[in-house]
Structure 1
Amino acid sequence: MTLRLPSSHLCWLLVLLITVVLVKPTLATDACQGIAAVVSNSSSVYYPGSLPYIGDVSHWASSSSQNATCSFEPGTAEDLGMALNIIAALRQPFAIKGGGHTTNPGFSSTTGVQISLSRFSDVVYDPEAQTATVGAGLTWDTVYTALEPHGVNVVGARGPGVGVAGLSLGGGYSYLTNQYGLTVDTIEAYELVMSNGTVKIVTKEDEDLFFGLRGGFNNFGIVTKFTLRTFPQTQVWGGFITYSPENVGLLNQATVNFAANTSDPKAALMITYDYFLSRTSLGPSALVFYNAPTPPAGIFDEFLGIPSLVTNVSTMSFPALIKLSMANATYGSRAIFDTISVLNYSVPFLNAVVNETVFWGSDSSLGAQFVSYVIEPFLPSLYNHSSIPSAFPPSRCDGFTPLKIYYSWANETSDSAMHTAIRESTRNLRQLSGTSEAPLYPNYAIYDTPLEMIYGANLPRLRSLQHCVDPENIMGLTGGFKF
C-alpha cells in the first residue's frame, strides 16, 4: 500500500516548506499544527495540560519521560505516514512510544513531537492461519488476556506493562522461548510506516527489510502491527519462591544444577537477587515456570526443598502468572537497565553476582532505592528455532543468555552516579563471565552501548540497509540505537 496525500494536504505542506525557508528558526509547534491540519478524524494531537498528553509522554521509568511540545496519537497507518512527511519536512525531533517500558533516556521520549501508538490496540486472532495480529500500542499482558479465550498464546514478555513494540523489535525473550524461540522468530509480518510515509507489509519475501526488523528497532520506520504465530496454551504451573539471605548459597547451587541438567523445553526459570535500601538486606527469589498444569516430578524439587519465606506456586492461567511478576514494584521511579551475556553458570559466578547486589545496594551514599540482578538460564538450543537471519542475535551458534541488571532511585541528581555504578558493575561481571565477546541483548543494554557489542558482524549490513530505505535519515530524528 502506498500513501498518497490529498491535494489540499500537498498544498498545505508546500506552504509550510516555504515558511520554513523564509522564517527561522522553525519550532516544533509548526510540526504539531501541521500534523493536526492534515490527519483524519481517527487521529488527534494533544498539548501540555490535557489528560491524553500526560498519558502519552509518561513512561514506566520517570527518568525516561520528557515534556514534548505536543503528543500525536495516530489512529491509522496512513495518518502516521502523513505526520512523518511533515516531521521530515521540518527536520523536527520526534519520539515513538509503544508501551513506554524502556529505561534508556530519550529512546522513546522527546521535547519535539511525541508519537504514541496507543490507538493501535487491536488483537485479531486468525484460527485458520494460527496467527494473531497485534497492535504496536499494546502491552503483552493485554495480548495474553485477549488470546486466552481462544486457547492460544504468543511468545512475548514475562512481566506486566512491557510493550509489544519494543520487545518485538529488539529480540524478545519469553517463558516460551525454549519451545518456540525469541519473539522475532515467531513474527510472520510487520505493518511498517516507512520514513517517506509509505505503508508497507513486510514479510520474509522482503528478505533484507525482514532481516532488519528482526532486532533492529526503529531504524527502518515505525511498525504499527505485528502478525505473530500462535501456539496452543493450557494452564501453566509456576510462581514465586522467596528465600532468606542465609539460604542464597543453596539457591545458587540449585540454579547451577538446573542450568546444567534441565533439558525440558517447557521449563523456565528466573533467579532474582534484590536489595531494597529500606530493608537493608538481600532478597533472593526464584520464579519457576512450567508450560503445563503440572510439571514432571523432580524438575523443580531442589528449589522447593530450600527453606523459604514465601512459596506462591500453583496451577493457573498464563495471564495470571504474568500478573505475579514484581516488574511494576518500582513503577514511576527513575531507573536504568544494563546487561551481560552468559553461556555457563557456575557457583563462583553467582556468588559474584550476589556480592555485586549487596555492594551496590547497601551503598547509602549512592542514592539507590533498589538494585536487582536477574539470572535467566535458557537451553543451549534457544536460537535454533529459526533459520532466517535476524539483526539480533547476530550469531545463533552459541546459546548465550541475558543477565539483567536493574537500578532504581528517586532523585534526578543521582542519575549520573547511578549510571556510572551500573556500568562498573556490568564491567566487573563481564570480566568474570568469560563471555565478554558475546553479543548483548539490545532491550537490556544501556543507552551508550557500542553497536558492535549488540549486532556484531551484522552491523555493516544493517547500516547499508538503513541508508537504502531511509536515505534522508528521517528515523535518525528519533531516539534509540541508531545505525
Structure 2
Amino acid sequence: MLRPLLRATYVALLLHRTRTAAQDAASTCQQIASAISDASAVFYNPDPSYLADIAHYATSSTDESVCSVEPGTAEDVGTILSILDSSQTPFGVKGGGHASNPNFSSSTGVQISMYRLNRIDYDSSTGTVAVGAGNVWDNVYSALEPYGVNVVGGRVSGIGVAGFTLGGGYSWLTNQYGLALDSVRGFELVLPNGTVTDVTESAYPDLFWGLKGGYNNYGIVTTFTLQAYPQGQVWGGQLIILGEYIDQVNVATANFAANVTDPKAQIIATYDYEEGALLAAVMLFYDAPSQPAGIFDEFLAIPALSANISTRSFLSLVQVEPTTTSESMRGFSNTVPFEEITLPLLETIVAQLEYWGAALSNSSAALLSYDVEPFLPSILTHGGPSAYPWTRDQRFLPFNMGFFWTDAQYDGDFYEAIVESSRNLTDTAVQEGQTQVPSAPLYPNYALFGTPVGSMYGESLAEMTMLKQTYDPQNVMGLTGGWKVTG
C-alpha cells in the first residue's frame, strides 16, 4: 500500500495527467473545428447536439468526451483522422450507439458521431442501395419501402447500420440471404491516413474480406453499398407470455428449432426476469402476408398476456420491439455460440435466468434477458469468405444475454454474473454433446468486453493482423475502441 505522502503525490500526478489530456483534447477539438468544411460541426457540453452525440443505449457505454464532431463528408472524416493521428488523441466512433461494451464507440477524448452521414440512395439499375454509416435500420426500411425492396438488416428498432453490418449482422432475412455482411457489395472507407477509398471485392479483395466482421480496425466506413431484395408485406409480431407457461414456450421453441425448414420463417424467443417475475416475449416472423398453417401453431396456442400479430410492413414488424432502455440503465451483453437449440438447454437457460435474477435483485434494480435465436444450418452458404465467421463449415447460433441495472457500484457484480452464466450454459451445451461450442466463433456484436479477440476471429486473426500492418502501420485506429487487432 502507498504511504500517505506517496499516495498524495500519486493522486496529484494522476490529476495532472487527466487535466493535461483534457487540455490536449481541447486543442485537438479546436484544430478539427478549424479544418473541417461547413458540412460538419463540432459541439461541446451542454449543447443538445453534443449530448445526443455521446448518448448510448446503455449509460455504462457513455463517456463524457471533451467535444463531439459530426462529419458531413467522407473527406472531413479523413481530415479528422489525420488530426487525431498527429495529436494522438483518443476518440470514439458512434453509428447508432447500441454497443453495450464501455469505450467501444465512446471516448473521453473526441467523440465522432456519424449522424450526418445519413444518405439512403436506391439504384434500381444495379439493385443496390448506398447507405450512410449514420443511419439506423428503421430509416433504411422506411426509405426502401416505396420501391418494394429491402436489405438484410436489424431485427428490432433503433439498431445502427454500421456496427451491426461490420460485426456480422443476423437479420429476419438471414435464412434466405445470409448475414448482413454477405450482402455488402462495397464500402466507402476512410483509411487511417485520411484517404477516401472505395473498397470492393475486385478492387481491394483483402480489405473487402477484412471489413466483413473486422469493424474499425482498418479505418472508418462512411457508406455501405448493399444488395437489395424484393420485399412485400410480412406476417408476425410479438407474444408476451407469463412465466406459468414457460414450459410450453420451451417446447414450442425446441420444436421450431428442430423441425422448421422454411427459410421465410423465423422466431426470437426472449426470456426476461424483472422484479421477481419471469416472462417470455416471443417474436414471430414470416416473409409473406400470411403464414402457412402449422409453423407457428404451438406458439399461438399458448395463452398470451398480450399479442401483437398481424399482416404488416417489414418496418412495422421491426418496430414492435423498441430497443430503448430507461435513461438510467447500465448494461452488458454476452453470448454462447450454440450448435443447436434443445429442450434441456432451454430449461437450463430458464433456470439460469431465475437464479441470477434472484441473486442480483438485492444489488440493484435489474432486468435480465436471454434471447434464443434459431437459424437454419444453411445460412452461411449465402456468402463468401469473411473475417467473421472464420469458418463457414458449420453455423453457430448467436444466443444473446443482456443484463441491465441502475447502480454503477454493482458493475463488477453484473460482469461476473454474466461471465459465470455464459460459462454454465457452455458447460451445459458440452454435456449434451455440443462439443464444438467452447471453440466456436463468438458473435462479435454480442460478445462481452474482455473476451479474447481470437475467440471471435480464430483462423482469420493472422490475416487480419497482416492487413493491420499494411493499412494502419501507425495504429491510428488503436486510438479508438472496439475489438482490436494488433499489427
Give the TM bin, normalised by the shorter chain. Answer: over 0.9
Per the alignment, do residues 332 and 170 of structure 1 end up closer, same or farther by CA in structure 2, a change over 3 Å counting?
Answer: farther
Name the aligned partner's letter for residue 229 of structure 2. Answer: F
Secondary structure (helix, strand or coil) at the match of 1:27 reads: helix
Q: Tell me the residue number matched to 1:261.
A: 259
Per the alignment, do residues 144 and 397 of structure 1 end up closer, same or farther by CA in structure 2, a change over 3 Å counting?
Answer: same
Q: How many residues align structurally? A: 458
Listed as ranges, the matches of 1:408-419 within 5 Å are 408-419=404-415
Q: Tell me the residue number matched to 1:153.
A: 150
Residue 219 (structure 1) aligned with residue 253 (structure 2): no
Q: Tell me the residue number matched to 1:18.
A: none
Q: Tell me the residue number matched to 2:395.
A: 399
CA distance in 2, matches of 1:276, 1:432: 24
Listed as ranges, the matches of 1:38-437 within 5 Å are 38-205=35-202, 206-277=204-275, 280-330=276-326, 332-363=328-359, 364-386=361-383, 388-434=384-430, 435-437=437-439
1:339-359 deviation per Cα after TM superposition (whole angstroms, max 9, x unaligned)? 011111211110000011111
CA distance in 1, matches of 2:323, 2:392: 29
Normalising by structure 2, we get a TM-score of 0.92
Deviates more, 1:425-434 or 1:225-234: 425-434
Per the alignment, do residues 254 and 333 of structure 1 end up closer, same or farther by CA in structure 2, a change over 3 Å counting?
Answer: same
1:157-190 deviation per Cα after TM superposition (whole angstroms, max 9, x unaligned)? 0111110000010000000000000000000000
Residue 442 (structure 1) aligned with residue 438 (structure 2): no
CA distance in 1, matches of 2:22, 2:344: 58
Specify which of 459, 465, 479 is matched with residue 481 of structure 2. 479
1:240-267 deviation per Cα after TM superposition (whole angstroms, max 9, x unaligned)? 1122212111111111111111110000
Name the aligned partner's letter for residue 401 of structure 2. Answer: I
- Across the aligned residues of Structure 1 and Structure 2, the Cα RMSD in angstroms comes to 1.3
CA distance in 1, matches of 2:164, 2:427: 27
Q: 5+ residue gaps in structure 1?
A: 1-22
Shift of 1:25: 9.8
CA distance in 2, matches of 1:393, 1:332: 34
Shift of 1:285: 2.4
Shift of 1:369: 1.5
CA distance in 2, matches of 1:300, 1:446: 33
Listed as ranges, the matches of 1:463-478 within 5 Å are 463-478=465-480
Deviates more, 1:428-437 or 1:443-452: 428-437
Name the aligned partner's letter for residue 370 of structure 1. Answer: L
CA distance in 2, matches of 1:421, 1:38: 46
Per the alignment, do residues 453 and 468 of structure 1 end up closer, same or farther by CA in structure 2, a change over 3 Å counting?
Answer: same
Deviates more, 1:355-364 or 1:464-473: 355-364
Check the 8 A contact 2:235/2:291 in 1, yes or no.
Answer: yes
CA distance in 2, matches of 1:26, 1:84: 19
Shift of 1:328: 2.1
CA distance in 1, matches of 2:387, 2:365: 34
Per the alignment, do residues 299 and 77 of structure 1 end up closer, same or farther by CA in structure 2, a change over 3 Å counting?
Answer: same
Secondary structure (helix, strand or coil) at the match of 1:383 reads: helix
Check the 8 A contact 1:330/1:408 in 2, yes or no.
Answer: no
Check the 8 A contact 1:244/1:283 in 2, yes or no.
Answer: yes
CA distance in 2, matches of 1:25, 1:308: 53
Check the 8 A contact 1:71/1:115 in 2, yes or no.
Answer: yes
Q: Tell me the residue number matched to 1:11.
A: none
Name the aligned partner's letter for residue 337 of structure 2. Answer: S
CA distance in 2, matches of 1:82, 1:346: 52
Normalising by structure 1, we get a TM-score of 0.93
Shift of 1:451: 1.0
Deviates more, 1:329-338 or 1:42-51: 329-338
Secondary structure (helix, strand or coil) at the match of 1:439 reads: coil
Q: Tell me the residue number matched to 2:16.
A: none
Runs of 4+ residues deviating >3 angstroms: 23-26, 329-332
1:62-96 deviation per Cα after TM superposition (whole angstroms, max 9, x unaligned)? 11111101111111111110111111001110110
Per the alignment, do residues 332 and 131 of structure 1 end up closer, same or farther by CA in structure 2, a change over 3 Å counting?
Answer: farther
Name the aligned partner's letter for residue 483 of structure 2. Answer: F
CA distance in 1, matches of 2:363, 2:256: 35
